[in-house]
Structure 1
Amino acid sequence: MKNDKSFDAGPGVRMHDDASVTELADFVEKAVEGLHRVGPDGTILWANRAELQMLGYRWEEYVGRHIAEFHADPSTIDHILTTLLSGGALYDQPARLRCKDGSIKRVLIHSNGHFEDGELRYTRCFTRDATERHERDVALAQRDAMLLNAPVAAALLVGPELRFHLANRRYCELVDCSDLKGKTFVEAFPQVQGSAVAEAIARVYRSGEAFNEEELALTVAGADGVAQERFFRLSLEPLLGADGRPEGVILVQVEVTEHVRNRQAIERAQREREQLLVDLSAASQAKDEFLAMLGHELRNPLSPIVTALQLMRMRGDGSHGREGEIIGRQVDHLVRLVDDLLDVSKVTRGKIELKIERVELAQALGKAVEMASLLIEQRRHRLEVEIAPGVLWEGDPVRLAQVVSNLLTNAARYTEPGGQIRLQARRDGNDAVVSVRDTGIGLAPEVRGQVFDLFFQGKRSIDRAEGGLGIGLALVKNIVELHGGRVEARSEGRGLGSEFVVRLPLQRGAGMLAPALAAAPLLPAAQVAPQRVLLVDDNADGADTLGRLLRAHGHQVEVYYDPVTALAALERLRPTVALLDIGLPVLDGYQLAARIRATDAGRDCRLVALSGYGQEADRERSRACGFERHLVKPISPDDAARVVAGGERSA
């Protein structure tokens, strides 16, 4: 070997001519695998280009130095040199070599010695990069460790015969068998041969496609030998080789018997609950229908009585003056009772409608005082009124007057004659606060939670002064809530008077029932590109109100109360925007969105979710299902108009 970069065939190698020597030198120099020679003292005598490039050294940095300088493990180079000096050979000897950049390269070394007269002259070494092999071995070891330490039952079947390569402790406990390694699945469990489980494992190996079963039912012998049905969650994943072909199957199995049993019990209870709700709903509907019928039937005799009283007054002969006044007062009271009866029937059936106006609060409250003044005067109460001027409110002034009139009437009934009643109204931030306080009999703590229940009546004196049906406060609560507000009953106890506080938003929300209101566009129609809007919501009043609002903005809107009818109209309408209530019957909003996206008519349609739930998880689910916006009820009219117009696209 010469001490330069040229290749010498070395002693004992006979070449026919210089051309052959040159050709061989060129071959080994340009070989893709690393080659080098090492002298008997460990000095590197020669290295080819692949060897130098693999480790990153120049010729003069590598050749002429001791081989031990480049080995990261002294014991390994000692073993290599000892083996070669003794005349042995090395095959696939793992080693770690230091690269010029300081990194460590994992390699496999093949080497043997060249001897003359029994003396080692040099060794011939082949160095192969084993980085990928090492990484693969590490990955396999990590995979096996992960399966062995998995918190669920896991096993690995390999080869076309699907033999157990490993099974962790949980799996062995689950199948009550510890001697599995090396056995095929059928050998380990002969009782499942030909079963759905065995066929699924074989199919995953053949096809390379995963298989999952959430509730796989298996009949298993228990500890007492009695067969029992158990349920498992089974997951089969193909183990693919470097060429993409299946090499085995990873099996994960979790027993879910208790979960299934609990779910079945819940489903039975749910069915019983649903049947109970059906029965209660039928009873409630019969009650509502009876109330509606009773109210209307009572109006028939009241109408001629009122007419007759008017004729008596027109005659003016005074013969029935005192009696006529008595009849008039009692008929007025009866009319109020019938009106309350009809109103509560509408409320319980969701038929009440609000006619929204922008009014001064004092105007509606003045009407309420007028309506209740007769009873207050008859009971000789002192009424104090404090209403802040200039407070503007959006709502139904007639219904608000009804609310406050009922509260005033209630205070008059439950306060001994000569008592005191105070009506106050003020603005508190974005709300209007109306309170009615009296010096009456008060409310016991256990009663305060019941006063707004339908047909609830508190204790009254024996004269039942202007008694009612126990529906006035139920009406108050329902009408206030329809306006987006709330009402609260307060009292320090029996004999200490009561206070009812109503809190109402000064401006209405878009979710409020407002069929009488025609919303004005927020922007001139010329500034908004008209959209074809599909609106689906099973709340007919809410859907109709929102539809009218969007039409007022110049959009073409079609409103549907169920998803099936909406899908049938999709091809004809070809909407550009779809507003979908999430809580729809038959198909929920997520399923309906998927159906719309799957059609040519709805592929490019923008989707907007309407929901009463607004947590981040709800918004994230909407985004995942393709909705570009998630509007939470009650919906702001401004937000709805901007979203449909395309002004806001983020969910």
Structure 2
Amino acid sequence: MLDEVASFIDDGLRCGGTGIVIATAEHRAELERRLAGFGAPKGTSRHTGRLECLDADETLSQFMIEGWPDATRFEQTVGRLVRAAAASGGAVHAFGEMVAVLCAQGRYEAALRLEELWNDLAKEARFALFCAYPWKLFRTAEHSAAFGKVCSAHDHAGPCHAHAAEPAADPARRILELEQQAIALQSEIARRRAAELALAERERELAEFLDNAAEGIHRVDADGTILWANNAELKLLGYRWEHYIGRPITDFHADRAVIDDILARLKMGETLNDVPARLRRQDGGIRHVLISTNGCFEDGELRYTRCFTRDASERYQRDEALTQRDRMLTHAPVGAALVLGPEFAFYLANQRFCDMTHRGPLEGSTFQHAFPELAGTELDAQLRRVLETGEPYAAEEARLPIDNGEGLEERFFQVGLQPLTGADGQVQGVILVLVDVGEHVRLRLSLENAQAAREAVLAELTASGRAKDEFLAMLGHELRNPLSPIVSAVELMRIKGDGRTQREQEVIRRQLSHLVRLVDDLLDISRVNSGRIELHIEHIALDDMLGKAAEMVRPLLGQRCHQFSLEVEPGISLRGDAVRLAQAFSNLLTNAARYTPPGGRVRLVARSDGPEHVRVCVEDNGVGIPADILPRIFDLFFQGKRGIDRAEGGLGVGLALVQYIVSLHGGEVAAHSAGQGGGSEFAVRLPLAGPADDA
């Protein structure tokens, strides 16, 4: 009966009409299932028509008054529904079981009245009505009259072939039944043919639906042989039909244990959903998939399995990336944690993070619950800002009060907050990275304190140096003042010609000359330290300037009986201060004379050094310069080891003055020596005067 009703309603829906079903709950549910389209919502047709389903008992209650159908209420309920369907265009096919419900209640007369109301409605609205009565309602002879009236109320009547009528004891009833069967036979044959065509159409649609479904589908025999696969399955793995169908499903699984487990569970009747597996492609590659499958059983035996294969490559790659991310965070050498959602629930926190914050495992707890001492801090505020805006945050030295179990401990961390976005681009959480920089902060503070102390000492030393320079300047002037009258007195003694004190006068004159030179050096050093030395630049001839320098030292050279030679390349000119340059070279010559034993050799040689420079060397064969003090020879106040009589004299400022004066002229000076007893050489390299200088 349900097959016939489903075909009858389906005929109306296929041509865009309306199907109306007023049936019992059991029959209505089964008809809705049979008429539902693939993937369509429950209660809707897979065709272009409209399906209306009503409950027989509930509909009867709306128009029955004291056990009798009321025509007005019938019109307001059923009549209005049928008229509206007929007015919308298209065929209207209705199936009703309300009369059968009334007969089952023993209200045959009420059932016949309801049939009359349907027929009256048919006079004003065009529709086809299919009614069904169970045979058990007309089993006795006394029901024959009602049976005849029911049959006469319809255009035709016939039995359902699914139920054979019992032999009738009444010949008249049997004749009626035979007549009904004969009348219905031709109609039944026509309906059967239509049903077969509809079934073939449905099978074709089903085959087309499965073959062209977007997901991979295949069917596997109970022994594991592939029986069928759709186009999506073949395309997913790159196989042709003949290379895939008929082969064991195990040939295509990269993990034998996985497919063996799937087959075993299917034989036990399980339904599997989204089981991860790896399948071999025709080109040798591996495809990650999710398999959903269950079995078809008959008499408790598995006949075949239905399998849906969904490509999970992107999901696998995403899961693999998340796994690698979590693994990286777990084994990171810094404290790392991952918090999710507005509550900042800890999804992951590595051991380093827990150790740094004096916490146990944090997974599952919220940030506020785990760190109540950080509520309202800058870190708490920045976590919420990153989650809301998606902008990262970094702090080099964040000061955080951490509860170490015994109280709050001030800790310093380098903090990094990175937003964690989902596939939809929305921020789902925050990656929190902590680096303990407490030791770094302590070292920095220590260095800052040391720097402050150093600056204080430096300021003190600067003040002390300034006081020293002022003292040297004052000492030079104070010593200079009494020297002038002493020199004058010695000169007057020489003029008066007192021969008795001539030797004493020479001693005084020699010592005064040495003392005047020391005082001049002190004054020059004072000028150097205070930056008050000024150069009077002019065009000078090198031979004249060196001649004056040699003349200044000749008394000392003569006194020590040195062999002195002066070799100057003619025609060389410089731009500079002739007085200061002569002072520099006289200091070098004086230094050579002092550290060369009597009778030794001193040379002053000047030659061009390339097109733009001149090289002036002062050479001697004196005591030489030890290698350990050679690098410091030009330092101020530096002196090598002296004898107890300090015969060579000096304050250690002469060579420092030489270097300073040469550097003011854009030149450089260097000292060379073969060591103790090997003599020494001082080489000065100065720029020549060019055409622009002459102009």
**Which TM class, normalised by the smaller chain length?**
0.5 to 0.7
SS in 1 for 2:557: helix
Shift of 1:423: 4.0
Change (3 A) 1:141 1:353: farther
Q: Which range moves more in the overlay, 426-435 or 39-48?
A: 426-435
2:432 aligned with 1:237, yes or no?
no
Match among 223, 229, 237 for residue 55 of structure 1: 237
Shift of 1:171: 2.4
Match among 377, 399, 418 for residue 195 of structure 1: 377
- Residue number in structure 1 paired with 2:162: none
Change (3 A) 1:519 1:358: closer
- Residue number in structure 1 paired with 2:433: 252
Matched residue type, 2:315: R
1:4-19 mapped onto 2 (5 Å cutoff): 16=198
Matched residue type, 2:444: R
- Residue number in structure 2 paired with 1:269: 450
Change (3 A) 1:303 1:160: same
2:578 aligned with 1:413, yes or no?
no
- Residue number in structure 2 paired with 1:526: none
1:570-609 mapped onto 2 (5 Å cutoff): none
Equivalent pairs counted in the alignment come to 490
Matched residue type, 2:586: S
- Residue number in structure 1 paired with 2:316: 134
Q: Is the 8 A contact 2:393 2:416 kept in 1?
A: yes
Shift of 1:109: 0.9
SS in 1 for 2:455: helix
Shift of 1:34: 1.9
- Residue number in structure 1 paired with 2:671: 488
- Residue number in structure 1 paired with 2:148: none
SS in 1 for 2:461: helix
- Residue number in structure 1 paired with 2:345: 163
Q: Is the 8 A contact 1:480 1:487 kept in 2?
A: no
- Residue number in structure 2 paired with 1:73: 255
Change (3 A) 1:490 1:67: same
SS in 2 for 1:91: strand
Matched residue type, 1:487: A
Q: Is the 8 A contact 1:480 1:502 kept in 2?
A: no
- Residue number in structure 2 paired with 1:82: 264
Structure with more of its chain in helix, by fraction: 2
Shift of 1:172: 2.4
1:490-569 mapped onto 2 (5 Å cutoff): 490=673, 492-493=675-676, 496=677, 498-502=679-683, 504=685
Q: Which range moves more in the overlay, 271-280 or 365-374?
A: 365-374
1:335-350 mapped onto 2 (5 Å cutoff): 340=521, 343-349=524-530
1:76-155 mapped onto 2 (5 Å cutoff): 76-115=258-297, 120-155=302-337
SS in 1 for 2:416: strand
SS in 1 for 2:198: coil
Structure 1: 5+ residue runs without aligned partners?
1-8, 307-311, 313-317, 509-513, 521-651
Distance in 2 of aligned mates of 1:97 and 1:258: 54
Change (3 A) 1:165 1:457: closer
Q: Is the 8 A contact 2:416 2:434 kept in 1?
A: yes
- Residue number in structure 1 paired with 2:155: none
Q: Is the 8 A contact 1:488 1:500 kept in 2?
A: yes
Shift of 1:260: 1.6
Identical positions, percent: 52
Q: Is the 8 A contact 1:358 1:392 kept in 2?
A: no
What's the CA shift string for 1:505-524, capped at 9, x where partnerless? x779xxxxx9x99699xxxx
SS in 2 for 1:234: strand
Change (3 A) 1:95 1:338: same
Change (3 A) 1:351 1:59: farther
Shift of 1:106: 0.7
Matched residue type, 1:106: H
Shift of 1:375: 3.1
Q: Is the 8 A contact 2:222 2:305 kept in 1?
A: yes
What's the CA shift string for 1:536-555, capped at 9, x where partnerless? xxxxxxxxxxxxxxxxxxxx
TM-score where L is the length of structure 2: 0.57
Distance in 1 of aligned mates of 2:626 and 2:307: 101
Match among 27, 30, 42 for residue 224 of structure 2: 42
Matched residue type, 1:49: N
Shift of 1:105: 0.6
- Residue number in structure 1 paired with 2:386: 204
Change (3 A) 1:35 1:342: farther
Change (3 A) 1:237 1:385: same
Q: Which range moves more in the overlay, 359-368 or 471-480?
A: 359-368
| RMSD, aligned α-carbons | 5.1
Shift of 1:220: 4.6
Matched residue type, 1:237: Q
What's the CA shift string for 1:47-89, capped at 9, x where partnerless? 3332222222233332343322211122222223333344332
Q: Is the 8 A contact 2:373 2:402 kept in 1?
A: no
SS in 2 for 1:156: strand
Q: Is the 8 A contact 1:15 1:21 kept in 2?
A: no
Distance in 2 of aligned mates of 1:177 and 1:406: 75
Shift of 1:343: 4.8
- Residue number in structure 2 paired with 1:375: 556
